[in-house]
Amino acid sequence: MEAGTSVGLEETPEEMMRKIDVAVGTMRAARVKIKVKPGKDVAYVAAIRARYPDLRLQVDANAAYDLFDSRHRAALKELDRYELMMIEQPGRNDDILDHARLLADLATPVCLDESILHARHARQAIECWQRYSLLCNLVINIKPPRVGGYLEAIRIARLCHNHGVPVWCGGMLESALGKACNIHFSSREEVTLPGDHISQGPYFREDVAQSLPCRDGRIELPEGIGWGLGEVRF
C-alpha cells in the first residue's frame, strides 16, 4: 500500500526543500504534503516543482485562508499552475458551502479535512459540490479519531466511494498502534489516495510498539490475526 508523508511549514523555501529532499530521496514517499498559509505558499510550491516536476504533491492550509478575501482566493488560484493533487482545507472548518461556492473556479481539487466530523457533513459536501462546483474537484480526508471511530470512518468512505469522491486517511499524531489501525483502514477499496503514514521523525520519545516498516513509499500489510505490530507495550 502506498504511503505519503507530511512536511511542516518552514521559514524559507530553502529550509522546506531540505525536508522535501529527504522525503523524496531518502524516504521515497509515494506523495508529499506541505503546509502553506498566505504569503508562504506559491513560492514554496514553485521551488518544489522546479526540482521535482513529477512529484505527487499536495498542500494543506489548515483553514489559513479567508475565502471572502479576493487576494487569498487569487493566491489559491495561482496554485493551479503547479498540478497539485489537492488543496486541503483552505478555508474555515465550518464553511463547507463557501468552499464549494467560492472556489468553484479552481482547477485543483479542494480537500475537506477539519470540516468533516461525520457522514452527514460528507453528504452535505457532496451535495454542495454537485450544485456549485464539480464533484470531481472534491476530496475528503477522513481522520477516524476526529469522526468518532472507524465505524463512522467506514460510513464516510462508502458514501464517498458511491459518489466517486476520492478519500484518504490523515494522521493525528497517533502512536504506532494508532498508525497501524489507520493503515489497515487505508487498505479498504474505498480509500484510494495515499495517507499520512510515515514521518521524518518519531512523534514520541517512547512509543508502545514499532511502526510497520515502509520501503520505497510502500507499507506491506501483515497477514493473519491482529494489527501485525508484534509486541505492544502499555
Domain boundaries, the chain: 3-219
pLDDT band at residue 40 using 50, 70 and 90 as cut-offs: very high
233 pLDDT above the threshold of 90:
no
pLDDT band at residue 175 using 50, 70 and 90 as cut-offs: confident
What is the mean pLDDT of the segment spanning 21-26?
95
pLDDT band at residue 178 using 50, 70 and 90 as cut-offs: confident
Better-predicted residue by pLDDT, 173 or 232: 173
14 pLDDT above the threshold of 70:
yes
Q: Which of 33, 35, 37, 179 is catalytic?
A: 35
225 pLDDT above the threshold of 80:
no
The per-residue pLDDT for 39 is 96
The per-residue pLDDT for 27 is 92
143 is annotated as an active-site residue: yes
Q: Which of 33, 37, 143, 179 is catalytic?
A: 143
Q: Which residues is 218 bridged to in the sheet? A: 2, 215
* 84 contacts 59 by C-beta, under 8 angstroms: yes
Please give the sequence-ordered ranges of beta strands (E in DSSP) within the chain, or none if there are none.
3-7, 32-35, 57-60, 87-88, 110-112, 138-142, 167-169, 195-198, 214-215, 218-219
- The pLDDT tens digits of the residues spanning 107-161 come to 999 999 999 999 999 999 999 999 999 999 999 999 999 999 999 999 999 999 9
- The pLDDT tens digits of the residues spanning 62-104 come to 999 999 999 999 999 999 999 999 999 999 999 999 999 999 9
pLDDT band at residue 190 using 50, 70 and 90 as cut-offs: very high
33 is annotated as an active-site residue: no
* 196 contacts 228 by C-beta, under 8 angstroms: no
Of 24-33, 108-117, 121-130, 195-204, the range with the lowest mean pLDDT is 195-204
The C-alpha atoms of residue 163 and residue 94 are separated, in whole angstroms, by: 22
**Architecture, CATH, for domain 3-219:** Alpha-Beta Barrel (3.20)
234 pLDDT above the threshold of 70:
no
In terms of Cβ atoms closer than 10 Å to its own Cβ (0-12, 13-18, 19+), residue 32 is buried
231 pLDDT above the threshold of 80:
no
What is the mean pLDDT of the segment spanning 159-183?
92
